[in-house]
């Protein structure tokens, strides 16, 4: 699964903690790696299918039932929420946070990151550079939208799309107008962005944990594909960020209020441009391409951010509040 030389040094085991990984599939690479590293810490770790959790809300009492049994309150959770289950997953994360449980990804940051338009608005407010983007309703003129975007070629992104699905490159204004008219006719919400030709179908994924870049890789799209997603046939290699790229990744994570995230940047003539900030970044591509133990970095983040409060080791803990306001 993972290269053993990374785990050559044994852990200094910290305080005993109860950890839940909120994931629908315990066999996914990322889930297995997180479970493995938490176990090496000597912690009580369980993979919880959040869709099988039931919330109880009463006066002064918040409970969570899992598969018919009351779920003990953990010290921390690691949300691995699928994009199609964001609403329920975020509700579950919020419920745990109401119980003063530390979450590596807060519910507000999770929902903020899953909305492409909202994310770009927040990043812009915090002076993070990005491709020129236009959002308009289906009542708008396609011609005006194309002009505001800087003209063809353009990238069209459906707001509800994930993992490179729903992203279209149009290389002429005529084609752009036809596609926009078709999407607007179906009342589809989409973003129109400038195409960064000099990137050559490549982008950079920086993994940020607790305000620090812990690993980065360069992804190259398959031949003839401008999208660099690994599951769309792209490839990945280890990458050393320059100072500007590192600062941009850290600024984007901070702007979004994410303790653990993958910042996707595209290289351009004017510097790195943030395409997206992923709140549930996969670990397989970056661990295998960089040979860096990212899962262990996440465990260190949990250890620094929380003190055990469960019945095993009761202490008082303060939870960092999200004050981004968007």
Residue 226 has pLDDT above 80, yes or no: no
Q: Average pLDDT, stretch 282-286?
A: 93
Q: Round the average pLDDT of the chain to a whole number and report it.
A: 86
SS (H, E, C) the chain: CCCHHHHCCCCCCCCCCEEEEECCCCCCHHHHHHHHHHHHCCCEEEEECHHHEEEEEECCEEEEEECCEECCCCCEEEECCCHHHHHHHHHHHHHHHHCCCEECCCHHHHHHHCCHHHHHHHHHHCCCCCCCEEECCCCCCHHHHHHHCCCCCEEEEECCCCCCCCEEEECCHHHHHHHHHHHHHCCCCEEEEECCHHHCCEEEEEEEECCEEEEEEEEECCCCCCCCCHHHCCEEEECCCCHHHHHHHHHHHHHHCCCEEEEEEECCCCCCEEEEEECCCCCHHHHHHHCCCHHHHHHHHHHHHCCCCCCCCCCCCCCCCCCCCC
Ordered structural domains, the chain, with CATH: 4-111 (3.40.50.20), 133-195 (3.30.1490.20), 198-278 (3.30.470.20)
The proportion of the chain whose per-residue pLDDT surpasses 90, expressed as a percent, equals 61
More confident residue, 183 or 95: 95
Residues 6+ apart with CB under 8 A from 121: 326
Average pLDDT over residues 89-112: 95
pLDDT at residue 10, rounded to an integer: 46
pLDDT of residue 137: 83
pLDDT in tens, 230-279: 555 567 899 999 999 999 999 999 999 999 999 999 999 999 999 999 99
pLDDT in tens, 82-94: 988 999 999 999 9
């Amino acid at each position: 699964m993972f290269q053993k030389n990374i785990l050559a040094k044994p852990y200094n085991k910290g305080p005993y903690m109860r950890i839940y990984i909120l994931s629908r599939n315990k066999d996914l690479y990322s889930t297995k790696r997180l479970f493995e590293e938490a176990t090496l810490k000597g912690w009580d770790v369980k993979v919880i299918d959040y869709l099988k959790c039931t919330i109880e809300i009463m006066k002064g009492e918040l409970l969570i039932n899992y598969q018919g049994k009351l779920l003990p309150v953990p010290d921390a959770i690691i949300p691995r929420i699928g994009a199609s289950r964001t609403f329920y997953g975020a509700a579950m994360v919020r419920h745990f946070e109401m119980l003063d449980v530390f979450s590596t990804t807060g519910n507000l940051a999770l929902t903020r990151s899953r909305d492409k338009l909202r994310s770009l608005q927040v990043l812009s407010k915090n002076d993070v550079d990005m491709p020129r983007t236009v959002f308009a309703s289906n009542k708008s003129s396609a011609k005006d939208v194309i002009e505001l975007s800087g003209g063809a070629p353009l990238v069209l992104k459906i707001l509800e799309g994930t993992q490179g699905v729903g992203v279209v490159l149009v290389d002429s204004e005529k084609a752009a107008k036809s596609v926009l008219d078709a999407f607007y006719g179906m009342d589809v919400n989409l973003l129109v962005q400038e195409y960064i030709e000099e990137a050559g179908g490549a982008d950079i994924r920086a993994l940020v944990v607790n305000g620090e870049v812990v690993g980065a890789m360069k992804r190259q799209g398959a031949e003839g594909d401008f999208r660099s997603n690994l599951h769309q046939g792209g490839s990945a290699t280890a990458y050393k960020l320059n100072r500007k790229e590192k600062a941009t990744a850290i600024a984007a994570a901070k702007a979004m209020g994410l303790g653990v995230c993958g910042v996707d940047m595209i290289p351009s003539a004017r510097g790195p441009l943030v395409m997206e900030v992923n709140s549930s970044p996969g670990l397989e591509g970056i661990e295998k391409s960089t040979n860096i133990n990212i899962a262990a970095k996440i465990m260190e983040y949990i250890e620094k951010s929380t003190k055990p409060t469960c019945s095993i080791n009761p202490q008082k803990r303060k939870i960092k509040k999200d004050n981004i306001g968007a």
